[in-house]
Structure 1
């Protein structure tokens, strides 16, 4: 199977995860900068794979499945490494990961009933905030009157609030679909 450019970018994002995990296992000015470059490069591929796929009509089943998986793997890997480093509380990461698993499962169930639940604008905000928070938490620098560590944690908690709210909206949306199609209660 030959992969088109958007799918190659998705595979690159997944391939960068072990490099990121390795670099995040160390701390120091230069290694933190390297980790941010690797994470940022991987995060940028998320924008470009979708953009190119839509612009040039290169949307594939592989991309539809692997793109969101690659995004979740990248963010989860970075956050878990930040827990390991002591930069983020484990329960914060568990909240985000639980939401991701729940929404992914809900979307799969909806799909089995022929209902596609597209990503919404809140999901894009959540992802953008997570990426920003992760970069700030990796660096953790003290800049004049503000610590990137503290600012990163504030932004991460904002992402968690948005994630939980958008997860609830997915659930409500699916329940309305079930009700409008007389699917009854969950079995």
Structure 2
């Protein structure tokens, strides 16, 4: 397993630790900061694994498939944690997760036909906006930061919908060739 793929696996392993610190009181007031550090490190592995894979020509089908899934696991877990904390509405998180299930379904049908579909730029913009939104929501710094977080919630929602439409439009042949 190459370094970019190890970083992807590391991101997946970090998710339960992040959720633990977000939703338990074990570390007291430090929990949100521990969770924030874990989330930021996990988010950075997303950027690093892709840069390393492309720079060193280490792009693999495993990476093309698992990297977006690892991102979804991290981001969706974080958004779900925001619901009981009152920082995100359930309907918002449902829309985001529904998009992720639809895209994952596309990828599974494509994989069944020996087609690997990499993430699009719209999907990457969506993920980055969601990660910045979540960093601000986790940090909960107040004032202008909360206003920026609120703007990013809506930006993330728009990018989620745009990326879904773009993904379907560019990959509709997967449905027609997939025997659906």
Is the TM value for this pair above 0.5?
yes
CA offsets 1:60-94 (integer angstroms, 9 cap, x no match): 33322221111111111111111122211111011
Q: TM-score, normalised by structure 1?
A: 0.83
Alpha carbons of 1:136 and 1:101: their partners in 2 closer, same or farther (altered >3 Å)?
A: same
Report how many aligned residue pairs link the two structures: 178
Q: Given that residues 4 and 58 in structure 1 are in contact (C-alpha distance below 8 angstroms), is that contact kept between their aligned partners in structure 2?
A: yes
In structure 1, the residue matched to 2:171 is: 174
Q: CA deviation at 1:51?
A: 1.2
In structure 2, the residue matched to 1:12 is: 10
2:147 matched to 1:154?
A: no
CA offsets 1:21-78 (integer angstroms, 9 cap, x no match): 0110147653222211110000000111111112112223332222111111111111
Structure with higher Rg: it is: 1
Question: Equivalent residue of 1:58, what SS?
Answer: coil
Alpha carbons of 1:15 and 1:118: their partners in 2 closer, same or farther (altered >3 Å)?
A: closer
Question: Equivalent residue of 2:83, what SS?
Answer: helix
Deviates more, 1:73-82 or 1:114-123: 114-123
Alpha carbons of 1:118 and 1:7: their partners in 2 closer, same or farther (altered >3 Å)?
A: closer
Q: Given that residues 20 and 38 in structure 1 are in contact (C-alpha distance below 8 angstroms), is that contact kept between their aligned partners in structure 2?
A: yes
RMSD, aligned α-carbons: 2.4
Q: Given that residues 139 and 149 in structure 1 are in contact (C-alpha distance below 8 angstroms), is that contact kept between their aligned partners in structure 2?
A: no
Pairing of 1:9-88 with structure 2 (within 5 A):
9-26=7-24, 29-88=29-88
In structure 2, C-alpha distance between the alignment counterparts of 1:136 and 1:114, rounded to whole Å:
39
Q: CA deviation at 1:178?
A: 7.1
Alpha carbons of 1:178 and 1:128: their partners in 2 closer, same or farther (altered >3 Å)?
A: closer
Q: CA deviation at 1:123?
A: 1.2
In structure 1, C-alpha distance between the alignment counterparts of 2:19 and 2:164, rounded to whole Å:
27
In structure 1, C-alpha distance between the alignment counterparts of 2:174 and 2:37, rounded to whole Å:
44
In structure 1, C-alpha distance between the alignment counterparts of 2:110 and 2:17, rounded to whole Å:
35
